[in-house]
Structure 1
Amino acid sequence: MDILIFIVSMGALIYGADFIIEQSEKIALKYNISHFVIGATLVALGTSLPEMAVSMSASIKGSADIAVANVIGSTIFNISLVLGVVFLIAKKISPDRDLFAKDSAWALFPILIFILMGIDGKLSMVDGILFLLLMGAYLLFLIKSNQVEEVEDDEEAEFSWAKSISLLLVGFVFVIGGADFAIDSAGNIAREFGISEWIIGLFLVAFGTSLPELMISIKAALKNNADLAIGNIIGSNVANFTMVLGLASIVNPLNVDFSTYFFDIAAATIVSLMLVFITANKLYNKSAGIALMVVLALVIQNTLA
């Protein structure tokens, strides 16, 4: 029964996030915001809502391992799986924006700051506030670096404030409700099968909460909109470490066991470094996609061994 509840609740999370993403993008396009900035802000925040809801719920319920593992696992999945798939299926990727010069540091800063903050074994309320300030700095940076693009007339003609607000509210209800049930059922599954909450959070929950990023990025890649896809991943990872862990640690201080989970945290750091390397050398191709998928396979094999 818990497995069925988990599947249904994850579906609610994903569909709720999809409503929020779609309407947020329409609002952004109405005001002529660039595709990369849309991907790195509204779409990224929308796709990070499942992680945020799950980690905050886990923090409230005292399941710190699920709260932290969800973010670590989502970072690994977002870069290795989501970007790996994007690079494999996209016909051509040539972003208009210089991602290395402008954005690569943001792919690495959050996890390095997480390591520095958590080296004492705990993420406190003060750490959470600092994380939120970092998110504010990232948003200010994106606003200043926004490159305005023209919006098609039919996009604006289809826009309706009443419809957008209604679907946004429905999306939030689905996300919040789904997160609550997901965290309860995931904990029950872990106890029933003797699996640690960290493994449940790292793989089962993290994979589920990464599905919105995967779906949105695949859609963007198929439409040759690489800027939105890559912006979505960078922005989602920033949001995961700053807003998700920030809010979760403000709600309830989180314990972080670096010695036990060193490999998984190191893996998240390595894939972040790979993203910086890819943007620095403009390796937006199938070879990079295969390399990322190989790393994911090694992480899964090592963790489950």
Structure 2
Amino acid sequence: MDFIIFAVAMTALIYGADFIIKESERIALHFNISHFVIGATLIAFGTSLPEMAASMMASGAGKSEMAIANVVGSVTFNITLVLGLVFLISKKMTSRRNLFDRDSAWVVVPVILFMLMIQDGLISRIEGALYILVMFSYLIFLFTDSKEDLVEEIDEELMKEKFKWLKTTQFLLIGFILTIGGAHFVVESGTNIAKIFGVSEWIIGLFLIAFGTSLPELVVSLVAIKKGNAEMSIGNIIGSNVANFSMVLGSAALLNPLSIDLIATKFDIYIMIAASLTLLFILANRLYNKAGAIFLLTILTLFILNSI
């Protein structure tokens, strides 16, 4: 029964987040807010909304390891699974943007901050606030650096639709109910599944919750491939990972300080670091091809085998 509840709750969480993103974009377009501004905020916050809801709910329930595991697992899945599949499926990618020059700092700095913060086995409220500042700095970066890329993120279909306040308000309300309710039951059912199988809440957060909350990134990336914009997936994943560390982990730590067992979780953290460094290597050498995919999927395989 807990598996069914988990699956239904995860679906509600993802669809709820999608409703919130779509209706927020609809409102912004109605008030003639710059397409660039909409794109910037959607990239920064949009696909990380499920992770944020799940981690904050876990933190509020005193399950700090589940909250951190969700972020560690999501970052790992985003890089190894999502980008691995993007590089494997897509044809030759020629990015107009020099991703290594412009985005490499955003790959490594959040990871370095994370490693520094957990040395005492605790991410405090002050450290959570510092992560929120990182989110603001990333928004400033988006607003000053990547205007053309962000405008392309706007949903063209929404621009053509007639705006209706009642419909938008209803969908926003449904979105918030599904997101909050879904996050609550994801954490509760996930905890019960951990007890049934005698595994830690860290493992549940790392795999079940992290994989589920990474599905929006996967869907967005596959759609980008279909539209011939596969190179945009890399920037979106980098932005999502920045949001996972700063907005998701920062908000969860502000709610409750997060403790972590460094010995029990070290391999998973090493895998996340390895994935980030591999992404850095791929950006530096522009290995947006099957070779890059093999590197990333190999790390994913090691990640899964170790946990099994």
Normalising by structure 2, we get a TM-score of 0.90
- Measure the CA separation in 2 of the matches of 1:159 and 1:100: 40
Alignment match, 2:178: 174
Output the aligned Cα RMSD.
2.2
**Are the counterparts in 2 of residues 93 and 224 from structure 1 also a CA contact under 8 Å?**
no
**Which residue number corresponds to residue 89 of structure 2?**
89
Q: CA deviation at 1:215?
A: 0.7
Cα 1:22–1:225 change in 2 (3 A) is: farther
Distance change in 2, residues 1:189/1:240 (3 Å): same
- The answer for the alignment partner of 2:17 in structure 1 is 17
Matches within 5 A, 1:147-226: 147-148=147-148, 156-158=159-161, 160=163, 162=165, 163-164=167-168, 166-226=170-230
Structure 1: gaps spanning 5 or more residues: none
Identity of aligned residues (%): 53
- Residues 171/91 of structure 1: CA separation in 2 closer, same or farther (3 Å cut): farther
| Letter of the structure 1 residue corresponding to residue 98 of structure 2 | D
- Which residue in the other structure is 2:78 paired with? 78
Paired with 1:274 and 1:153, the residues of 2 have a C-alpha distance of 34
Cα distance in structure 2, aligned partners of 1:293 and 1:21: 30
User: 2: distance between equivalents of 1:48 and 1:251?
Assistant: 18
Question: Could you say if the C-alpha distance between residues 25 and 288 of structure 1 is closer, same or farther in structure 2, counting changes exceeding 3 Å?
Answer: farther
State whether residues 25 and 43 of structure 1, in contact with CA within 8 Å, keep that contact through their aligned partners in structure 2: no
Contact conserved, 2:44 with 2:243, CA < 8 A, in 1?
A: yes
Query: 3-state SS of the aligned residue for 2:288?
Result: coil
Distance 1:215 1:159 in 2: 26
Distance 1:155 1:253, change over 3 A: closer
Shift in Å, 1:27 = 6.5
Shift of 1:177: 1.0
Structure 2 spans left out of the alignment, 5+ residues: none
Map of 1:264 onto structure 2: 268
What is the distance in 2 between the residues matched to 1:113 and 1:284? 27
Instruction: Output the CA distance in 2 between the equivalents of 1:279 and 1:26.
Output: 34
Aligned counterparts, 1:265-284, within 5 A: 265-284=269-288
Give per-residue Cα distances to partners, 1:59-89, cap 9 Å, x unaligned: 1111111001110000110000001111112
- When structure 1 is superposed on structure 2, of 129-138 and 25-34 the one drifting more is 25-34
Q: Structure 1 stretch 144-153 or stretch 273-282: which is displaced more?
A: 144-153
TM-score under structure 1 length normalisation: 0.91
Checking the alignment, whether the CA contact within 8 Å between 1:94 and 1:226 is kept in structure 2 is: no
Shift of 1:228: 3.3
Contact 1:24 1:42 in 2 (8 A): no
Contact 2:44 2:139 (8 Å CA) reproduced = no
Residue equivalent to 1:58: 58
Q: Does structure 2 conserve the Cα–Cα contact (< 8 Å) formed by 1:6 and 1:181?
A: yes
Equivalent pairs counted in the alignment come to: 301
